[in-house]
Amino acid sequence: MANAFQEGLRQLDKTCEIIQREKKITIKTEEIEILKKPKRVVEASFPVTMDNGKLKIFTGYRVQYNDVRGPFKGGIRFHPKVDLDEVKALAFWMTIKCAVVNIPYGGGKGGITVDTKKLSQREIERLTRAYVRVMANIIGPDRDIPAPDVYTNSQVMAWFMDEYSQIKGVNTPAVVTGKPIEIGGSQGRDTATAQGGFYVFDNLRKKLRIKKNQIEIAIQGFGNAGLNFAKIAADHDFKIIAISDSQGGIYNKKGIDIKKAIKYKKENGQLRGFKLAEEISNEELLELPVNVLVPAALENVITEKNVKNIKAKIIVELANGPTSIKAGEELFEKGVYVIPDVLANAGGVVVSYFEWVQNIRHFYWDAKKVQNNLSYIMNKSFKEVWETSQKYKTNMRTGAYITAIERLINAVRIRGRA
């Protein structure tokens, strides 16, 4: 993800300019500088015993970006393209995201450069445990709380929590979120990102007075975020006409039967070959004549190269960083509403926060309580971002950044660090 971090910083500068101009206040250079640099960056190499008995050296990262509003918080990604620039960008976005939805966390992110498709489950377990051993002294329930991200799941979080608890000699479920329910996970965490995205999408749809039966949705990515969004939207009678995974996409103008597609993906490991739809590429999916597009896979898929061909009226960024800043500006000019990642996919970190609170208190909530609290935070955050973007005649991304950066700068001032 070339220069993603630089893009994040450009958005930060642009937002600070707007705040200063519109609110007629001065933000000191030092206050902005604090938000421009990660507080701590850890790069570690560690050996893992492979199933054939040989040692292989892997590289992992943890970027602890900012903790001015609370402990660092952010997922762990296992992907061949993970590098420091990507992890820094993701950690910066987590800082913004936690401030947008106003939960008491800073931002962080971690990752290992690895293709998990080439590893066995035992190898992934040993890899996870090795990562925890090198990071154990910098993470913890009051310091830095990781969570799942691309190609890490609740099982990986279970190994993570177990290894950390063994190192510290005390059961510590609050060190990670996104755990299985049996060992301290929260109800609703597995579907939280998609559920939160669905709440903000439906808020926007109602604001724009678009009827449910006029909506056609295309979703790129069919993992935790994309699959669950498809399921929730289908359960609410929305028509989904295209979905995809890393192997390619499928399309049916009349609507895809999502339950059957999920079953097919489970049995075959991919969507390609699903009989009740035609095959399309991931690139074609983005350019379909739909009114709602949900990028839910990786970064930088909507750029200067294809933005002219995007036909959607609403883009729900379930993935982190799917739209480049330039492409985002062009979409705004065209009248496209982009619900930015820092709001659209914040449901995951909100329910992670609920999980952490439950772990610390040793008192667990039922699914209804989780849903009620999630919808309260997402609806309130949507309203704040929407109103800010309307007030400053800007797009929702800048609206979200203004909301977040004001909170961050206030926290910096009150703590007296600048």
CA distance 264 to 259: 9
- Determine, following the binding rule CB under 6 A, whether residue 318 of this chain makes contact with ligand NAD: yes
The half-sphere exposure of 198 on its side-chain side, counting CA atoms within 13 A, is 23
> Which residues belong to the active site?
109
Contact (CB, 8 A) for 339 and 317: yes
Dihedral pair phi/psi, residue 216, rounded to 5°? -130, 130
Pairing of strands 107-113, 55-66: antiparallel
Pairing of strands 72-79, 144-148: parallel
- Determine, following the binding rule CB under 6 A, whether residue 222 of this chain makes contact with ligand NAD: yes
* Residue number, 297 or 405, with CB nearest to ligand NAD: 297
The half-sphere exposure of 381 on its side-chain side, counting CA atoms within 13 A, is 33
Size of the site for ligand NAD (CB under 6 A): 24
Going by C-alpha positions, the residue among 277, 221, 272, 217 that lies closest to residue 244 is 221
What is the nearest approach in angstroms of ligand NAD to the Cβ of residue 197?
9
What is the nearest approach in angstroms of ligand NAD to the Cβ of residue 329?
21
Among 66, 177, 345, 403, binds ligand NAD (CB under 6 A): 345
What is the nearest approach in angstroms of ligand NAD to the Cβ of residue 150?
4
What is the nearest approach in angstroms of ligand NAD to the Cβ of residue 196?
9
Q: Candidates 26-34, 57-65, 114-122, 220-228: pick the segment binding ligand NAD (CB under 6 A).
A: 220-228
- 118 Cβ partners below 8 Å, 6+ apart? none
- Determine, following the binding rule CB under 6 A, whether residue 348 of this chain makes contact with ligand NAD: yes
3-class DSSP state for residue 202? helix
- Determine, following the binding rule CB under 6 A, whether residue 151 of this chain makes contact with ligand NAD: yes
Q: Candidates 16-24, 210-218, 243-251, 376-384: pick the segment binding ligand NAD (CB under 6 A).
A: 243-251
Detail the DSSP E strand segments found in 137-268: 144-148, 216-220, 239-245, 248-251
What is the nearest approach in angstroms of ligand NAD to the Cβ of residue 83?
15
- Determine, following the binding rule CB under 6 A, whether residue 297 of this chain makes contact with ligand NAD: yes
The half-sphere exposure of 143 on its side-chain side, counting CA atoms within 13 A, is 13
Nearest-CB residue for ligand NAD: 223
Residues 177-196 that bind ligand NAD (CB under 6 A): 193
Which residue pairs, CB below 8 angstroms and at least 24 apart, start in 366-369? 366/187, 367/187, 367/188
Q: Candidates 50-58, 59-67, 313-321, 361-369: pick the segment binding ligand NAD (CB under 6 A).
A: 313-321
Among 244, 381, 388, 389, binds ligand NAD (CB under 6 A): 244
Which residues are at the interface with ligand NAD (CB under 6 A)? 148-151, 193, 220-226, 244-246, 282, 296-298, 318-320, 345, 348
